[in-house]
Structure formats: C-alpha cells, structure tokens
Amino acid sequence: MFGLIGHLTSLEHAQQVAEALGYPEYANQGLDFWCAAPPQIVDHFHVTSVTGQIIEGKYVESCFLPEMLVNRRIKAAIRKILNAMALAQKADLNITALGGFSSIIFEEFNLKENKQVRNVELEFERFTTGNTHTAYIICRQLEQVSAQLGLDLSQATVAVCGATGDIGSAVCRWLDQKTDVAELLLIARNQERLQGLQAELGRGKIMELEEALPQADIIVWVASMPKGVEINPETLKKPCLIIDGGYPKNLGTQVQHPDVYVLKGGIVEHSLDIDWKIMEIVSMDIPSRQMFACFAEGILLEFEGWHTNFSWGRNQISVPKMEQIGEASLKHGFRPLLSW
Ligand code: NDP
C-alpha cells in the first residue's frame, strides 16, 4: 500500500474544507488550533493502471499550513511533517510521497537528523519527494503546450523562477540536455547557488525577476513561496506561456490577458477514475482523475514495486531518472495536463 502526505494551501482554505476533510470542529478555528492538530488518515482509495493492476493507497493530512512559515511557527511546521511521516509508517505504507511543502520543510530544517519520532524510528527509504516526476511533467507540459501555441523553442527564452530548487534545477537540466531552447534565465535569491547552477549547466543568465519576466516567452514558476506574487500582464511578452508549478500557486491572482496563457504546472491526469475525495478538496478540475505529479510518483513507485526513496535530497535529479519515471508514467496511464 502507498501513501500521500498533503496539506491545504492556506488557513482560509483549511477552514472552508474542514468539514469535507472530516474535521468539522476545526472550521471556525484559527492558526493556533491547526498548529496543535495531529495528522490524520482521511482518505483510503484504489488506483487502477491501464495495465489492469490495482493498488491501494491512503491520504495523510498533515495539518501543516503555509501560514506556519509566514508566522515563524517553525516548530509546529516541523512537528506536522515528522508526525505525518510517523503516522504513514505506522500505517504500514510502503512508499509515501511528501506533497507540497512537506519535502521543502524536511530539507530546509534538516529533518533527516530527527529519525526518532516518539516510538517510531523513521525509515526514510519509505518516502519520496515526488520531485523527479513533477519536474518531468513540467518539462513535458512546456514542450507540448509551446508546440500547441506555435512557440518555437529554438527561438524561445525560458525564465525559471526557483531555478536553484530541486524541481527548478531538474527542469533546467532537462531543457538544456533534451531541448534546443535558445536562452535560459535563472531566477532565485541566493546568488551563490545561482552561480553553482550556471556553472553546472555551462549556460543560463542570472537575473532579477523584474528584469527577466519581460524577456521571457515561457515562464516556469517553481519557487517555494507560502504566498503567491502579483504580476502585471502588460509587462510580459505576447504571447507568453506561464507554467505555475507552485503549491500554493506562485501567482497570487489570475492573469487575465488573451495572449498570456497560464497552465497549472506539475499536474497529471490519469486515464481511469480514482475513488478518492481528496482531489475535490484541493479543487482539481476533474478530481477523479487529476492530481499533483508528486503524488502520482508515489503511485508509480507502488505500481512498479520500487519501494525506495526515488526522489530524495536536494538537486540530485538527473535526466535519466526523469526519463525512467516518465516511462512508468506513460505505461500506467498518466499524461500531463495540457489545457487551461
Ligand atoms: P525548493 O525548496 O527545492 O526550491 C525552491 C526554489 O525557490 C529555490 O530556487 C529558492 O531559491 C526559490 N525561491 C524561494 N523563494 C523565492 C522568492 N521569493 N523569489 C524567487 N525565488 C525564490 O522547492 P521544490 O523545488 O521542492 O518545490 C518548488 C515548488 O513546487 C513549491 O511551491 C512546491 O510546493 C511545489 N511542488 C509542486 C508539486 C506538484 O506535484 N505539482 C510537487 C512538489 C512541489 P532562493 O531561496 O535562493 O530564493
């Protein structure tokens, strides 16, 4: 059996969906309450591959909320992730994907040093960040939607916001090695890491966000931001394809412009329905089939019997591993979301 550890996008979102999630008593509660709430298994479902194989999974709600980072409730945030992992392990889940901020908190606060959670010694090989599949899906979305829009990659400038991150750096590697993208613009805050990435790639221009956006034909947003930013579509090139892979979304408002195309990044659609309720709660357009690519990685590892932390650590994702998970993705009936 596999697991998915997830969280909601904001306190407001959590209050709205508390009832559907099975926590009616949390609906009117503030951040303090969510900081104290224990993780719970709130969904149990089956996934059928197009090969006919059927597997079983459980969804663990960690009760982490991005406001915990904004309000420096770091201990609470750490507790949420470790407790959710311990719960997944106690429930005998063979492989569990750490969705959204779960893996970011794990890395940022070096939780590999916290193996012992009360009476559970965490076995990290039972967990995956899901980032290899997420990066693969974002790259396939970029390749396929740019072709649909008539954007020629060999003439295109691609800006990657969050380029030095786990997903961002993998996207840069793929674009460099597997496509003929003309120009890569690398955006993040830490200059040393940007220079390291530029040296690794042997290309790419390091730029500030405001400088990069007006030059980009395609923008990939994969920054770990608890709250989205506002951008003015008038400053962008036309046409412009934006792939927003953040969770919560990196874009704070919906961009309304006929020549600016915003695609939900890192989302896959399965070929067959899944009997879960959780994707409705996170507002997928087709909740029975669409999901985050990181969750789909957990599903793929279970289908393939790869009970190992396929995606782990930071900035280790190679193009061959993206190809490997990509093959499994196609084999079991997943495809990247290509429409808005
Ligand atoms: P990482 O923590 O590895 O990387 C985050 C990147 O964002 C770094 O390059 C960081 O660099 C940059 N960044 C952070 N804040 C800012 C800012 N204010 N301005 C510019 N750059 C910034 O994160 P991941 O790669 O693991 O995840 C990236 C995003 O993808 C997250 O939103 C996550 O929730 C989402 N995600 C989506 C999944 C899906 O299935 N769709 C799956 C997993 C994650 P620096 O700190 O130097 O600025």
Name all domains of the chain by residue range, CATH numbers in brackets.
Answer: 2-131+268-331 (no CATH), 135-266 (3.40.50.720)
Q: Which of 275, 271, 333, 328 is nearest to 305 (CA)?
A: 328
How far apart are the CA of 22 and the centre of ligand 1, in A? Answer: 30
Angle between the 293-304 and 319-331 helix axes, to the nearest 10 degrees? 80
- For 61: left if phi > 0, alpha if psi spans -120 to 50, otherwise beta; the answer is beta
Structure confidence at residue 12 (pLDDT): 94
Residue of 213, 220, 224 to test ligand 1 pocket, by largest number of atoms within 8 Å of CB:
224
Structure confidence at residue 326 (pLDDT): 98
Structure confidence at residue 153 (pLDDT): 98
Give the residue ranges of the chain where pLDDT is below 50. none
Structure confidence at residue 283 (pLDDT): 85
What is the Cα–Cα distance from 6 to 97, expressed in whole angstroms? 9
Which atom number of ligand 1 is nearest to the Cα of residue 293? 40
Which atom number of ligand 1 is nearest to the Cα of residue 250? 32
Residue 100 Cβ inside 6 Å of ligand 1? The answer reads: yes
Question: Which whole-number Å values give the CA distances from 95 to 57, 59, 130, 259, 275, in the listed order?
Answer: 10, 12, 11, 42, 20
Residue 69 Cβ inside 6 Å of ligand 1? The answer reads: no
- Distance between terminal CA atoms of the chain? 33
Q: Are 117 and 80 in contact (CB under 8 A)?
A: no
How far apart are the CA of 101 and the centre of ligand 1, in A? Answer: 9
Residue 336 Cβ inside 6 Å of ligand 1? The answer reads: no
Which atom number of ligand 1 is nearest to the Cα of residue 291? 40
**pLDDT tens for each residue of 174-209:** 999 999 999 999 999 999 999 999 999 999 999 999
What is the Cα–Cα distance from 272 to 270, expressed in whole angstroms? 6
Structure confidence at residue 97 (pLDDT): 98
How far apart are the CA of 166 and the centre of ligand 1, in A? Answer: 7
Structure confidence at residue 20 (pLDDT): 86
Question: In this structure, which residue's CA is closest to atom 43 in ligand 1?
Answer: 100
Residue 298 Cβ inside 6 Å of ligand 1? The answer reads: no
**pLDDT tens for each residue of 4-50:** 999 999 999 999 999 888 888 989 999 999 999 999 999 999 999 99
What is the Cα–Cα distance from 78 to 148, expressed in whole angstroms? 42
How many other CB atoms sit within 10 Å of the CB of residue 211?
12
Structure confidence at residue 22 (pLDDT): 85
Q: 55: which 2 tokens?
A: 């597997």
Residue of 108, 160, 222 to test ligand 1 pocket, by largest number of atoms within 8 Å of CB:
222
Which atom number of ligand 1 is nearest to the Cα of residue 100? 34
